[in-house]
Amino acid sequence: MKTNNNTSLFQRDQVMESLKQSFVKLNPKIMVKNPVMFTVEISTLIMFIVTLFSATNDSQGSFAYNLLVFIILLVTLLFANFAEAIAEARGKAQADSLRKTREETPAKLNVNGQIKTVSSSQLKKGDVFECEAGDVIPADGEIIEGLASIDESAITGESAPVIREAGGDRSSVTGGTKVLSDHIKVVVTSQPGESFLDKMIALVEGASRQKTPNEIALTILLAVFTLVFLIVCITLKPFADYSNTVITIAAFCSLFVCLIPTTIGGLLSAIGIAGMDRALRANVITKSGKAVETAGDIDTLLLDKTGTITIGNRKATEFYPVAGMDKHAFIEACLMSSVSDDTPEGKSIIELGREMGVRMRTLNTEGAHMIKFTAETKCSGINLKDGTEIRKGAFDAIRRIAMEAGNKFPKDTEDIIQAISANGGTPLVVCIDKKVAGVIELQDVIKPGIEERFERLRKMGVKTVMVTGDNPLTAKYIAEKAGVDDFIAEAKPEDKMNYIKKEQAAGKLVAMMGDGTNDAPALAQANVGVAMNSGTQAAKEAGNMVDLDNDPTKLIEIVEIGKQLLMTRGTLTTFSIANDVAKYFAIIPALFMLTIPQLAPLNIMGLHSPESAILSAIIFNAIIIPILIPLALRGVTYKPIGASALLRRNLLIYGVGGLIAPFVGIKLIDLFVGLFF
């Protein structure tokens, strides 16, 4: 997405809108969804009433003091609302960018062979439309006829066009993308308002964001903490009466707000929304926050070889003529056999021949008859005008042709075929007039930098498993070259399912990456199913994430985002609870200092007065929320150093730091506040 590259946390228009929303969110109907901050709102309302009362009666303290407590509590609420609002605003900015790509576009609807132009909003599931060069694709669909070069920059942010074609796993197109060349016929796969873009917009706006199980559990825990501290504050009243200590309502409200986990309570929603937003900025669409969280705990990753680990299109790398045959003549035969082969493999043969000095224009193919590849024959080729027959195909197909004609299959050719297979390649055998002429080596091209990416996953504790239909020898070679931990060779769709179930039965969380319809069952079974955007609609529906970049190692980012989300929530909860310790030492001694002098040693910060102690504590409690907003939005930095090391580091920084920071902060604030109270 075009906005993905914008790393600024606070943009002027977003901040202004968030400030407005901070007041809108004071609505009790909204606040009640967050039990911690709802109780703060009730305390603020109580302080408002007390402030009005103190204007005519000073039994609850001076008007200025109560007004200041009320303002600080209100500011605490506004800061918490601002944290959630700024996270939502960043998501809405993403949604606005997406909405621009979803503008109404004309669609060339095919009705009984007749073309009828209608609005894209009128398209229904099952409708067939046509697109040619220059047209914007009006809706999500599957190409059923033709192929085209498509500009997907409106969705992915990548300017390089991609090829989409009927059949196979590259048939899916997304509404809002643009056709650059050729002509395609597409069947609509989504109902109005349920397109890929519509779902994306709803997710990033937060409209369809549901609290994750972890988030719900933490909300319940925080609500219990709040209830406990409410009981603590209530029980202080009889102790105060017994010791003849007067505790004002302002002191009770301040103590309560300081002791409950307001920091994490105010930032909890922002952390969840920001997690979804970070996933989107990594060009990953998640169907739920639960999927992001689960990704943070993934143990095993399954991914296809073709199109994921390898580029997908096999490439010719070498020509091997039989003994006694001129290599140049053999290359010429290979090129002529590939004239009618418009596959990427066929084109790569012609390209390799050109690199070796043989060009198609120098070959005489006039009057020749092209032989197309068929599944039955497993070969293709050409019949020249002079009667020469050249065939190119699979090892068993060409061997059958040669042996049926009474010709032997050379032993050195068999050795070459075995060597190519052992190296992870695919051998294509060429025969001239039913005599074996040599072998063309095709190799799966491994994507650059893939080994380093898998090594990083290994450091994260993620086991990588390659799934391929290749024979075990070829699979083993590719697996070793790519750096994956394990592989499943000659895999059928049910093999993927069985492997996932086996890992899950062992208590492991499994992620699956795929793009084809045959991957859909495994994507649905996996704990985290990541479908490629270039893949089929069935794959995208089955998965709970969609990778817009079609990057097989995108799980690195997904795992890191998941771990960041869990770590951020955990560390800020730790920090928030650790903060309470200092507030005990600030407020409790301040309340009883005058009537119970023996509590003076607990006033280790040496705060100026009861009023200044209370004000300093609630001021610190308020300002710590906006200070932590950038951390909540960006997330705690994750490094693949192991769970124990991460825990130690975060406990040191946010646990010990959470204990020390309030002591320092409250004392500094007290030095200023003590000048007035």
Which residues are tagged catalytic? 304
Collect all residues with Cβ–Cβ distance below 8 Å to 518 and sequence separation of at least 6: 493
Side-chain half-sphere exposure of 172, counting CA atoms within 13 A = 24
Handedness of CA 213, 560, 577, 612 (dihedral sign): negative
Pairwise CA distance, residues 429 & 154, whole Å: 44
Pairwise CA distance, residues 546 & 304, whole Å: 15
Side-chain half-sphere exposure of 317, counting CA atoms within 13 A = 14
Chain centroid offset of residue 415 CA: 46
Pairwise CA distance, residues 3 & 94, whole Å: 6
Distances, alpha carbon 215 to alpha carbons 27, 317, 429, in Å: 22, 53, 59
Residue whose token pair is 């873009």: 197
Q: Quick check: helix, strand or coil at residue 343? A: coil
Please give the backbone phi and psi of residue 477, each rounded to the nearest 5 degrees, phi first.
Answer: -65, -50
Token representation of residue 594 = 């005058």
Of 580, 617, 614, 629, nearest to 22 (Cα)? 629
Buried b / exposed e across 38-66, counting CB within 10 Å, b at 16+?
bbbbebbebbbebbeebeeeeebbebebb
Surface-to-core class of residue 115, CB atoms within 10 Å of its CB (0-12 exposed, 13-18 middle, 19+ buried): exposed
